[in-house]
A and B are shown apart, each in its own frame.
Chain A
C-alpha cells in the first residue's frame, strides 16, 4: 500500500514509517504541518494515510481539519487519524460524511503493531476502524444511552465491536461465539435500532455510527 504519514514529532514519524515499512508497505510522503499534509494527501492520493490531530502551525486540530478538507475534495479518501485524546466530537465530525475509509485511534494503539496494521488495512479497504475507547464513549454518552437501553448486554457488546469495524467472523472470535450466532444478534439489534440491513460490512458499521451520530 502507498501511505502518507503526517506527524510533527520526528521520533513518532520515524517510528511509524519504520513500522509500516516493516510490514511491507510503502511510505510515499511525510508531512509535518497541516497545510503540508493537505498538500500531500491531494497530490499523492495514497491508499491510506496516517494523520495526527494536533500539528503546527497552530498546534490545534490542524491535522483533523486537513483530513476533513481532503475528504471533501476526494470523498472516501482513506484516512486513519491518530490522536493523543479520545474526543467524541472529532470522531463524530469524521463520521459525519457517511463515506467509509475512516479510522480514529489513540496514539498508543501503535504499541500493538499487528492490530494497528490490521486496522490500517481495514481503513484502506474502505472500512472503519475505531479505537475501543472511542466506541465506549460513543455508546455511553447521554444522547445514546436511552436509545440503546433496549439492547441486551450481548447485543451491546456485539454493537460496540461492530462499530470498531470488525467483521462478524472477527466478532465471533472475540466473543467466543459462532459466526451464525453473531449474525443472529446483529439482525435483532438492527431490528431494535430500526436500521435496514444490507450485506456490506462497512455500510452496516456506518449505519450504526451515523445512527449514534443523530442528536
Chain B
C-alpha cells in the first residue's frame, strides 16, 4: 500500500517535472514554429515575406539560449543535486581614465553605461560558453524535449480520444502517460551534464587564469617574506652584534685602566649576545620550525599543541611524512588556526586531527570558542586559503555565532 502511494506521488511529481522540462526545452522550437506560421500567413510564395520570420528566429534563438540553459542548470541542481558549473566568462572592471572616458578592456566609451554595454556584448560574443549554449538549445528539443513530452502528449491524446469517443486509444494514451511519468524528466540530467558543462578548452583556460593569479600571489608573498627576514636581521641581531663588538673593543681598552668598568661592559656584552640569540631563534622558528624539520608534521603539531595556551588534543592516525612545502603550509595553517582560536574566539580547548586518505591529507581543527570566523578579504583565513590554494588545497570553515568553529584543510598529495 505504502509502495503504491509513493509510486503515485512520484508519478505526479514526475508529470509536473516533465511538463516543466518540455516547456523549457521546447521554448525555442515554439518560437521557430511561430515564425514559420507568420511566414505562411504573410504568403508562402513570396520570398520577401520570409525576411521578418528569419530575423525573428535568429534574434530569439540568440536571446533565449542563455536563459534556457540557466533554467536547465537550475532545474537539474534542484531536482538531482548535480551542480553543473556555468563557466561563463566574467567581465573585467570598467575604469575611468584621466581623460574622463571609460575603459572597459576593449574600447574607450564616453559614459560608463556605454562602456558596460559594449563590454557585455564583446564578452558574450567572444565567450565559448555562448556557442555551447546555442548548441544545447539545438540539441535539447530533439532529446530531452521529445522524451519529456511523452506524458503530456499521452494525456492530450487521451483527452482528444475520449472527446471523439475512441476509448481504446484514450486508455492507451493514459497508460503511456502514467507509466512514463516518473521517468520521462530524468533524461534531462545526463544530457545537461554531457552538453552543458564547460568544455575541456574552457576548463583549461580557467585553470591557466587561476594558476597565473596564484603565481602572482606566491611571488608577492615570497618577496614580502624575504623583506621581513632581512628587516628583522638588520634591525635585530645584526645591530646587536655590532654593539657587542663595540663594547668588547671598549672593554679591551679599559682593561688596564679601569678593570671594574671593563667587567661591567663584558657583562653587558654577554647579555646582549644572549638577547641576539633569542631574536635569531624566534626568527628561525618563524621561517622553519626545528621540530618540523627534525620530526615531521605530526610531532611538530604535538609540540605546537603543548606550547599553546589552549588545552589542545592532537590525534593523528599515522606518522606521515609529506613533501616539506606541504608540511610547512599545513603546519603554519594549524598554528594560525590555534592563534585565532585564542585571540579572536576566546577558546579554551581545541581538537586537532590529522588524517590522510588515498588522495588527500585532511586536517580538522575544532575549538570551543564563540564562533563567527569567516574568511574576510585581507584577513588571516583568506591568506591561509590562498597559501593552501598554491597546492590545490581547500579550506572549509563552519563557524556559527556562539561556536564551535570547525575548520577543515584538505591538501591533495600523492602517496609517498
Contact = CB atoms under 8 A, between A and B. Distances in A.
Interface stretch (B28-36, B71-79, B127-135, B303-311): B303-311
Nearest to B305: A142
Interface string B257-301: 000000000000010011001100100010000110111000100
Contacts of B270: 111-112
A89 B349 CA distance: 19
A85 B273 CA distance: 16
A188 interface: no
A16 to B, nearest CB: 16
Given A85-B281, A108-B277, 13 more contacts: A54-B294, A60-B294, A87-B291, A88-B306, A88-B307, A89-B291, A108-B278, A111-B270, A111-B274, A141-B309, A142-B309, A142-B348, A143-B311
A29 B117 CA distance: 84
Given A60-B295, A84-B290, A89-B299, A145 B309 contact: yes
Most buried by B among A89, A142, A143: A142
B312 interface: yes
A88 B311 contact: no
A89 to B, nearest CB: 4
Contacts of A145: 309, 311
B302 interface: yes
Interface residues of B, number: 25
A141 B310 CA distance: 7
11 contacts: A54-B294, A84-B290, A87-B303, A107-B277, A137-B307, A141-B306, A142-B305, A142-B308, A142-B312, A143-B306, A143-B311
Contact of B310 (A87, A92, A142): A142
Nearest to B304: A89
Chain A interface residue bracket vs B: 20 to 34
Given A60-B293, A60-B295, A85-B290, A111 B273 contact: yes
Contacts of A112: 270
A61 interface: yes
Nearest to A112: B270
Max chain A C-beta neighbours (<10 A), residue from B274, B295, B305, B306? B306
Interface in A157-179: none
Given A85-B285, A89-B291, A108 B274 contact: yes
Interface string A71-92: 0000000000000110111001
B307 A141 contact: yes
A111 B276 CA distance: 13
B303 A84 contact: no
A150 interface: no
A140 interface: yes
A140 B294 contact: no
